């Protein structure tokens, strides 16, 4: 009995989305087979990794990751340059300082920061609001205009504010990150709503809502596997947008990345443990089909990039 390699016949393909302007653009997507199955499909672009930068100092971050960026994190511009030097494919600027519970920075201030960061690096830029539904609409409108021409990924558009955020991205020729809450149908629904308002689905990057290793990662993992199957095997055009996973945000608030050695001796040393937590979470998201990751620790990013090279 001779083995006939059982290949899937895929009818769909992930859209290719280009980010950035000038010489250092990055394209993600384009796959026409399930993740890394090179024997039955092609993967024109490797998954990209963005390092995260914030508009305020990372006072809330756990020691391990705070230390890793401490030389640069006092200023968003320095921090972004540092990310580029560390080999990040992109910089992800999170405007957390605009949140009313944080510094409540104004939309104008945020726009100024975004423009400065955009001018400081030549790799593509991801710009994220603070996650405050109402405030993000003002902030992202101002920001999108301030970085017009830079072909950024702007987000996150959610069910409650997608119209305004998408309009801002559309008016200024940016790509859009659309986040839904850990559900295949909600992810599709948001892409449909965006298409109905005239936002081209080929310009959307889908965020299925990430979670950290040990804290619900299996939900994200299976939602992503199902999205990818719908996109490729059932040729569902509303599922064929590339996927982004915002993992640093989730990883660097769980106990495994915070608890000191003395508190949890059975967990091993904090520095190694915390780094591994972000790196292994990244491996999970990549295996499930992530086209793009947002990470916080440069060391964990380096490991994720090493794994991507090993997988391609």
Partner 1 sequence: MALSGVEIFKYLPKTNCKKCGHPTCLAFAMKLAAKQASLDACPDASADAKKVLGEAAAPPIRDITIGAGDKAVKVGGEICLFRHEKKFFNPCAFAVSIKSSEAGDAAAKKIEMVKTSEIDRVGQKLRVDAIAVTDDGGDAAKFASVVKQVVDGAPGVPVILVSANPAVIEAGIAHCADKKPLICGATADNADAMAKIAKEKKASLVVSAAGLEALEALSDKVKAMGVEDLVLDSGARKAKDMIEQYTIIRRAAIKKNFKPLGFPIISFAERGDSLSEAMAAAIGVMKYASIIVVNSVEKWKMLALLSLRQNIYTDPQVPMQVKQDIYKIGEATDKSPLMITTNFSLSYFIVRGEVENSKVPSWIAVMDNEGLSVLTAWAAGKFTASKIATFIQESGVEKSVTTKELIIPGYVAVLSGALEEKLPGWKITVGPREANQIPTFLKGRA
Binding mask 61-100 for partner 1 (x = CB under 8 A): ---------------------------------------x
Minimum CB distance to partner 1, residue 18 (Å): 25
Candidates 46-54, 120-128, 206-214, 234-242: pick the segment binding partner 1 (CB under 8 A).
206-214
Among 84, 215, 236, 298, binds partner 1 (CB under 8 A): 215
Give the chain's largest Cα–Cα span: 69
What is the separation, in whole angstroms, between the first and last Cα of the chain? 31
Give the Å distances, CA to CA, from 214 to 218, 282, 284: 8, 13, 11
Counting contacts by CB under 8 A, is residue 59 touching partner 1? Answer: no
Q: Which long-range contacts (CB under 8 A, 24 or more apart) does 138-143 make?
A: 138/107, 139/95, 139/98, 139/107, 139/110, 139/111, 140/164, 140/165, 140/168, 140/169, 141/107, 141/165, 141/167, 141/168, 142/107, 142/108, 142/110, 142/111, 143/95, 143/107, 143/110, 143/111, 143/114, 143/168
3-class state of residue 51 by DSSP: strand
Residue 261 to residues 60, 190, 258, 279, Cα–Cα distance (Å): 20, 43, 9, 19
Residue choice 205, 213, 232, 292 for contact with partner 1 (CB under 8 A): 213
When the beta carbons of 91 and 157 are compared against partner 1, the nearer one is: 157
Smaller CB distance to partner 1: residue 140 or 230?
Answer: 230
Please tell me the count of residues contacting partner 1 according to CB under 8 A: 53
Q: What residues numbered 127-146 form the site for partner 1, per CB under 8 A?
A: 131
Give the one residue of 26, 57, 186, 307 binding partner 1; rule: CB under 8 A: 307
- The nearer residue to partner 1, 79 or 221, going by C-beta atoms, is 221
Token representation of residue 19: 């980010």
273 near partner 1, rule: CB under 8 A: yes
CA distances (Å), 298 to each of 15, 155, 157, 249, 264, in order?
Answer: 28, 23, 27, 14, 25
User: At its nearest, how many Å lie between partner 1 and the CB of residue 229?
Assistant: 8
**Please, which residue, 22 or 100, has the CB nearer to partner 1?**
100
Candidate residues 51, 53, 123, 217; the one interacting with partner 1 per rule CB under 8 A: 217
Q: Kindly list the residues in this chain that would bind partner 1 in the complex (CB under 8 A).
A: 1-6, 35-39, 60, 100-101, 131, 211, 213-219, 221-222, 225-226, 229, 250, 253-254, 256, 266-269, 272-273, 275-277, 279-280, 283-284, 287-288, 303, 306-307, 310-312
């Amino acid at each position: 009995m001779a083995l006939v390699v059982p290949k899937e016949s895929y009818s769909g393909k992930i859209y290719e989305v280009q980010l950035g302007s000038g010489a250092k653009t990055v394209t993600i997507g384009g796959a026409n087979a399930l993740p890394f199955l090179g024997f039955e499909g092609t993967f024109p672009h490797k998954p990209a990794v963005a390092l995260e930068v914030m508009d305020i100092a990372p006072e809330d971050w756990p020691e391990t990751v705070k230390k890793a960026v401490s030389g640069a994190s006092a200023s968003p511009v320095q921090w972004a340059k540092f990310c580029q030097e560390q080999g990040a494919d992109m910089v992800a600027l999170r405007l957390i300082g605009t949140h009313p519970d944080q510094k409540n920075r104004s939309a104008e201030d945020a726009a100024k920061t975004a423009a400065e960061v955009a001018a400081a690096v030549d790799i593509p830029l991801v710009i994220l609001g603070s996650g405050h539904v109402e405030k993000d609409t003002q902030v992202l409108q101002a920001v999108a205009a301030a970085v017009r021409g830079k072909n950024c990924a702007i987000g996150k558009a959610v069910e409650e504010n997608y119209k305004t955020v998408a309009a801002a991205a559309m008016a200024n020729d940016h790509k859009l990150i659309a986040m839904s809450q850990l559900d295949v149908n909600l992810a599709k629904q948001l892409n449909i709503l965006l298409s109905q308002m005239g936002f081209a689905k080929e310009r959307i990057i889908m965020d299925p809502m990430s979670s950290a290793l040990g804290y619900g990662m299996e939900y994200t993992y299976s939602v992503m596997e199902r999205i990818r199957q719908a996109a490729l095997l059932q040729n569902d055009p509303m599922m064929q947008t590339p996927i982004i996973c915002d993992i640093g945000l989730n990883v660097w608030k769980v106990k495994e990345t915070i608890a000191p050695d003395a508190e949890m001796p059975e967990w091993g040393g904090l520095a190694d443990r915390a780094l591994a937590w972000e790196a292994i979470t990244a491996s999970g998201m990549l295996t499930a089909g992530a086209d793009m990751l947002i990470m916080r620790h440069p060391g964990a990013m380096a490991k994720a990039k090493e794994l991507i090279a090993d997988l391609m």
